[in-house]
Amino acid sequence: MTDPNAIQPSALDQLPDRDPEETAEWQASLDAVAKAAGPHRAAYLMRRTLERAEAGGIALPKLLETDYVNTIPTAAEPSVPGDEEMERKITAWNRWNAAAMVTRGSKFGVGGHIATFASAAWLYETGFNHFFKGKEADGSGDQLYIQGHASPGIYARAFLDGRLNEQHLDNFRQEAGGNGLPSYPHPRRLPWLWEFPTVSMGLGPLSAIYQARFNRYLTARGIKDVSDSHVWAFLGDGEMDEPESTAALALASREGLDNLTFVINCNLQRLDGPVRANFKIVQELEAQFRGAGWNVVKTLWGTAWDELFQLDTTGALVRRLREVPDAQVQTYQTRDAAYIRQDFFGADPALVEMAKLLSDDKILECFHLSRGGHEARKVYAAYKAAVEFKGAPTVILAQTVKGHTLGEGFASKNANHQMKKLTVDEFKTMRDLLELPISDSAFADGQVPYGHPGADSAEVRYLQERRAALGGPAPARRVHPVAPLPAPAEKAFASFDKGSGSQNVATTMAFVRLIKDLVRDKESGKRWVPIVPDEARTFGMESLFPSLGIYSPKGQTYEPVDRDQLMYYKEAKNGQILNEGITEAGSMADFIAASTAYATHGEVMIPFYIFYSMFGWQRTADQMWQLGDQLGRGFLVGATAGRTTLTGEGLQHADGHSPVIAATNPAALTYDPAFAYEVAAIVKDGLRRMYGEAAPGEDPDVFYYLTVYNEPMPQPAKPSGLGIDEGIVKGLYRFNTAESAGLSPVANAPRIQLLGSGTAIHWTLRAQKLLAEEWGVAADVWSATSWTELRRDALEADAALLRGEERVPFVRQALQGADGPVLAVSDYMRQVPDQIAQWVEQDYSSLGADGFGLSDTREAARRHFGVDAESIVVAALAQLAKRGEVKATAVKEAREKYGL
């Protein structure tokens, strides 16, 4: 049995010891210190030695944890420029108005959070006064990811500087009547203030990393020099449990993103209770970030603790702070000095002696109030260290008290996240604590008043002067006027109109070929941002590697194994492609940063993100919602789409539902094109709407989701006739009739309308032929490029009707006069084509691939789901039999004939 106390072998044992005698002396010295001064002293010396080695650049494994004290000693803290007393007054007003706003709104039952901003007030105020750059200089400034639950405090500050008024505050979470404020940072709801939606926790930190990375990308490619922009992400310690919060930490350090700072508000509480009840979240996060290569700055204790640390000559205080679990620290926050003396100081004889030198007031000041995140001096020192650190991103772990200054009923209580209001008496106590000049008479009828020192007060002038010096208000979202992008040459799109002849071409290949032409455009080509999660070869994009290059801040420091090949793997500092590796979440964060560059940096970029359709909406739908909220523009492309087209991959790769999820997102325009010319027409219209001249009433702040397929098929020529392009964009047009397809059914033959989308159109066309040749049925085939857009148009028509306006849905207009029933088919759940059922005047039925996918050939999978050509024939005959237009026996005969 292995002795647990035995010295275990290490990697160093693999290296020859050039001086065993010297090594033995070092080891003996350590043993002597441990024996004479105790193991704590030996550990202290080792930690200091490792820190010195790390600071000196000696190649050793990083020390993952430091003592539970501030990283920056009090003696090394820089003085805070400006007027600290004035900043204290401003912070007091913000605390008051944030609490007043939520409390006043609570009578309407709309909710709100008070405790988060109360803990983080100084984290924001110090940044606003000294660090956060506005957008009035170069239009970019800094990018601020505000913690969602702290939004009341941000509104309170905007009220103080005159950007909001009392009516706005009274409409917090009451937007329906106009002039309201959204609950959290929502750019679509308050686009002049909020840049980034953050309250779907975990997405903020992930997006912040990729935003900082995209800033580097813009600079490296010569689009715009934004090297002066800094990304600040304000996060909660509980939020760091979300996997997205830490998913890209290694990317940030690997690429040396020193333009990025995380500020984690460590108030030790999440929504229901302590973040790490039996452990220490700060130490855990420090190890995680340091292990990932980040610079870590801990700001834990306020100045009241300085006296205690000076008395700690044995290290007993530091050891005790390290061992006390977070939940017990929260308990100290609510207990009296006697309890703290016994439970905290009583654990070590040296601490018992220390406590004798401390008054009860001193103990309570330290354990109830004094945290590093509540003092401008401590926060300023941490921020200054962060922006001056080079070579890696920085995380600031700032310890605070949740509910700070809100009174004993709030501070550190487990339920404070759900507590929405203070009583009048509690507000008066808070007023006295904050030293605000609000009289008792201001509380008319029990209503808490808002507080404002006056538009020309010293506080407001100071606030506005500081913001002017830093480049204008913050946070702020600005969309700088930019000229519409000129449309690419028509030939890039028109080349698909003639079809592919006898050549089989998948729509995925058609899309990639279109992009190849568009990125060569002299005007707009450089603004395309191709994004792919390590599947470029799957989608046939490897030819773009040598021509566009794959972005890497290091360029290419090696000779690629395929350098002698035409399509070799080329990385470059100014590369255009973002090949993210196997991370759909990271790729989506890339897409969001690129798609909103028109507002963030005043630079229009055209991102397209191509991915396995199954792993887009299913895996990252929350980020798609974030994209819509942030008013992003671009093209999402779900490749290898459909439930039956990806042969052999089986259940987890079979997408039969992405259009269902996409349909729930109001900003997503979802298309399922069947042919190459449809892909070209949709992309052309998307470029016009999002980046060119949008038509009156069209919202340019949308994004397109296209499904494309890996099934090579002959691509037909674009049909001639009026309204084809309109039908492609709106969602439906007649591709052919039985007669135009060269099929000659008998006179007065029963007729049916077959609607197909995506790859299903090919089975539909074969069914059209079988119906004519074997059953004497005439079928017209329609291409349904977008079931969702047809539904949305119909919903708008219904809403118009309620307003007294006569409007006919486009789907009804298109099918008007079409003889026979309608049968709709797609490679997705029937729920997808059934979106339009209620607006189709003809008898309507559908076929789709419902259920789990399976591994097999395409033909077998389609037969399994009942969507192949033969199944379509049987379903069509069943519809006609119901109407008495074919014999009822025809349905049975067809089933037997086709082996169904």
Tokens representing 77 are 């803290």
Nearest of 182, 163, 180 to residue 452 by alpha carbon: 163
- My answer on whether omega of the bond before 475 falls inside 30° of 0, hence cis, is yes
pLDDT beyond 80 at 408: no
Nearest of 628, 535, 509 to residue 587 by alpha carbon: 535
Residue 812: what pLDDT?
97
Residue 25: what pLDDT?
86
Residue 2: what pLDDT?
43
pLDDT beyond 60 at 415: no
Beta bridge partners of 143: 231
d(CA 581, CA 692): 32
> Contact at 8 Å (CB) between 93 and 451?
yes
Tokens representing 161 are 């500087």
> Confidence band (pLDDT; 50, 70, 90) for 776?
very high
Angle (CA) 560-562-565 rounded to 5° is 130
Its sign, for the CA torsion 221, 223, 228, 231, is: negative
> Contact at 8 Å (CB) between 549 and 570?
yes
Tokens representing 757 are 């989308």
pLDDT beyond 90 at 23: no
Question: What's phi and psi for 342, nearest 5 deg?
Answer: -75, -50
Its sign, for the CA torsion 172, 176, 179, 181, is: positive
pLDDT digits (tens, 9 = 90+) for 60-88: 667 788 999 999 999 999 999 999 999 99
Angle (CA) 641-642-644 rounded to 5° is 125
What string of DSSP letters covers 80-124?
Answer: PPS-HHHHHHHHHHHHHHHHHHHHHHHTTT-----HHHHHHHHHH
Residue 4: what pLDDT?
42
> Confidence band (pLDDT; 50, 70, 90) for 749?
very high
pLDDT beyond 50 at 856: yes
d(CA 503, CA 712): 9
pLDDT beyond 80 at 590: yes
pLDDT digits (tens, 9 = 90+) for 878-897: 999 999 999 999 999 999 99
d(CA 9, CA 13): 6
Tokens representing 810 are 């486009």
Residue 9: what pLDDT?
45
Give residues with Cβ within 8 angstroms of 864, minimum separation 6.
Answer: 854, 856
With pLDDT > 70 as the criterion, what percentage of the chain qualifies?
96
Q: How many CB atoms lie within 10 A of CB 278?
A: 9
> Contact at 8 Å (CB) between 820 and 751?
yes
Q: Left if phi > 0, otherwise alpha if psi is -120 to 50, otherwise beta: which for 689?
A: alpha
Give whole-number Cα distances, 820 to 809, 884, 886, 888, in Å.
19, 11, 12, 16
Range 350-369 average pLDDT: 95
| Distance of alpha carbon 103 from the chain centroid | 30
Give whole-number Cα distances, 356 to 331, 339, 352, 370, in Å.
22, 14, 7, 20
Residue 444: what pLDDT?
86
Nearest of 301, 316, 389 to residue 353 by alpha carbon: 316
pLDDT beyond 60 at 597: yes
Residue 420: what pLDDT?
55
> Confidence band (pLDDT; 50, 70, 90) for 409?
low
pLDDT beyond 50 at 6: no
What's the chain's Rg over C-alpha atoms? 33
Its sign, for the CA torsion 708, 709, 715, 721, is: negative
3-class SS string, 756-806: ECCCHHHHHHHHHHHHHHHHCCEEEEEECCCHHHHHHHHHHHHHHHHCCCC
pLDDT beyond 70 at 1: no
Nearest of 840, 868, 865 to residue 784 by alpha carbon: 840
pLDDT digits (tens, 9 = 90+) for 86-102: 999 999 999 999 999 99
d(CA 277, CA 391): 34
Give whole-number Cα distances, 573 to 216, 552, 598, in Å.
10, 5, 22
pLDDT beyond 70 at 873: yes
Mapped onto helix, strand or coil, the DSSP state of residue 705 is strand
d(CA 344, CA 324): 8
Nearest of 92, 154, 124 to residue 431 by alpha carbon: 92
Model pTM? 0.94
> Contact at 8 Å (CB) between 560 and 639?
no
Total count of residues recorded for the chain: 900
Average pLDDT across the chain, whole number: 92
Q: Of 19 and 620, which is predicted with more confidence?
A: 620
pLDDT digits (tens, 9 = 90+) for 312-332: 988 999 999 999 999 999 999
> Contact at 8 Å (CB) between 733 and 839?
no
Least confident of 17-26, 376-385, 418-427: 418-427
Range 171-192 average pLDDT: 92
> Confidence band (pLDDT; 50, 70, 90) for 417?
low
> Contact at 8 Å (CB) between 785 and 671?
yes
Give whole-number Cα distances, 452 to 169, 289, 440, 672, in Å.
13, 41, 15, 55
Mapped onto helix, strand or coil, the DSSP state of residue 66 is coil
pLDDT digits (tens, 9 = 90+) for 111-162: 788 889 999 999 999 999 999 999 997 889 999 999 999 999 999 999 999 9
